[in-house]
Structure 1
Amino acid sequence: MNTTPHPDPRDRPARLTVGVVGAGRVGPALAASLQLAGHRPVAASGVSDASRRRAAALLPDVPLVEPAEVLRRAELVLLTVPDDALPGLVAGLAETGAVRPGQLLVHTSGRFGARVLDPALRAGALPLALHPAMTFTGTPVDVQRLAGCSFGVTAPEELRLAAEALVIEMGGEPEWIDEDKRPLYHAALALGANHLVTLVAQSLELLRTAGVGAPDRMLGPLLGAALDNALRSGDAALTGPVARGDAGTVAAHIEELRAHAPATVAGYLAMARATADRALAHGLLQPRLAEDLLGVLAATAGGGEGTGPHEGPHEGPHEGPHEGPHEGPGGTGGHDGTDGPEGPEGTEGTAR
């Protein structure tokens, strides 16, 4: 439930005409939410059949036009295109004179702050970065999910009240993110949400292979409890063979995964190392048990067959032969099914 009080009417933006550039999964849902708050969607752009269907479902009777025409008709424009397409789109709109002075220009990219809108700012637009920390389906359920959804907000200080008011009007909770922290903020969301989908999908496939008839029914309560525990207690919620230091069980897991789902082995090893590091750092995994466990992981990563103890003492969560969770590239995610003005729809994992 959204418990944030409504802003003082003096701080709320006037009722605005709203346009959407990129009718992917995100834009129509946000525009529909703004419509519930009294704003008026007047135009949208989209290039794919899926975009047109979404716009028709969430924004009935709103015409689909070219991006420049969207800006001509709307006082508040939502730029909901893939992250990589955003800088070029903004530059192109500014260069062609499509941006009007005093026009609110809002992008929903998690990666970028307000500076990506600088070309539009120089043309007189009012730049806002409002990123919903939510995954989108492209259906009306998205509008309901915005209730209580956090938004990463970045804007010039003089526009802060307007940005926060728009978020609250959409049912969201504004969370201020500094410009230089946007990529880290987005990486954190991608790590949690995008990778969660991959992990759950792999788990479902393995359970089916193991003969479980309803893996979703089996996983639902377990994953729900794990998520709740993690949000409440952080690392103290760690359980399972890695946190316990059950090296033999982990070795058996890896053997079965290699036999039945070899594509999952690398992910299992990476998460096991990260879990071991965190369990050690928080005193959940005893160092004497960690030796055999880390030996199994090291031998497996090197292609060896042994499961003997790890050579040399493990001095801390980031020492020893494995590189720990800080070595691979960090995820940056994308935007949930955003749609570029000139190309095919983008895809996203979360939030966005």
Structure 2
Amino acid sequence: MAQQQDWNAMSDEEFRRIFRSWIDENCPEHLKFMRNQRPVFDEVSDWYHLLSEQGWLSPVWPQEHGGMGLNPAKHIVYVEEWARAGCPRIPDHGIGLVGPLLIEFGTPEQKETFLPPILTGEHVWCQGYSEPSAGSDLASLRTSAVRDGDEFIVNGQKIWTTLAHCANWILLLVRTSKDEKVRQKGITVLLVDLTSPGVTVRPIPNLREEADFCEVFFDDVRVPAKNVVGDVDQGWPLAKAVLGHERIFLGAPSRPEYALKRLERLAEDRGAFEDKAFLQRYARLRLDLYDLSSAFERFANVLRTGGTLGPDVSVLKIFCSELYQRITEEMLVVAGEESRFYDDLPIADGHIDAMNLYLDSRAPAIFGGSNEIQRTILSKAVLGLPN
């Protein structure tokens, strides 16, 4: 079993070779570079279970909890090789958010109850943060939880909840106190069973007619008080800890890299490289991708050497998401009149999913903290500008 290995004792190069070989041999071909980059659990369940059985599912969980216990350097290698091979993104809120949160802040009973079902796929999690009036300004959330003996009664609504329709548990931010002068106080983290009476999940089709996101309604939903993570009214630091892990990986160059390769194939097929104006635009995109990769490597080296990322890492998310958009926009320019088609565009040696990638590129500038919010972080915490 892979989790019995001391991965951190070997070199990064050796770990990369072993992991690359394993995923190349075991990831099903029909799942590589999937058109839908956020597949539901049923689509990738066999891959999820294989990763779990072989110990490759949870890279950063400590080994005593069934994880690989990778250090930051090995984790970056893991993410890079996953993207290189085109492995499908598994529903990963349990692995990437809930598990690390419980390992750091959960009670022994919570760890025993909730960690093993994540590894087996019995519990599929989603994240209940955003609300209709509390998206980027998350501290203004209104979903309430009122104490009633050994339970909390939850009422409210969450929105843009990723893959809630294929989840059975939700990591929920609720307001348990309205008397605090500081909005970040009075917020609590709850673990909520989505099969509980009073929960309604309503999918929201996106521009590609896929239901990546959902609305989730809570009407007098009863949640055991033992499902509070951390202390009541003190959930804001935990909420930020959950978001903190994704700051660098939202800026990983994998999506722009994939899109640029697709642009190159389309441009070759359509003869666009004979156009000097296109060559100039293409060169700018490629140089920007080099810059992004270099910036990502600089921040990755901070983690590799045991450092802590500062607020300046927000520049990665902005750079990556906007470059992804510019590349996919250029694909539609090359496609010309064909860009109006949602179906993949035929080329000599296959097909190019131009419109699909264009639509997919719209969301990253919003999720994980919109680019406007990231710019505010940079202006305040890095440049020291006033409000």
TM-score by length of 1: 0.28
Q: TM-score, normalised by structure 2?
A: 0.26
The structure number with the bigger radius of gyration is 1
Q: Which has the higher contact order (CA 8 A, sep 6+)?
A: 1
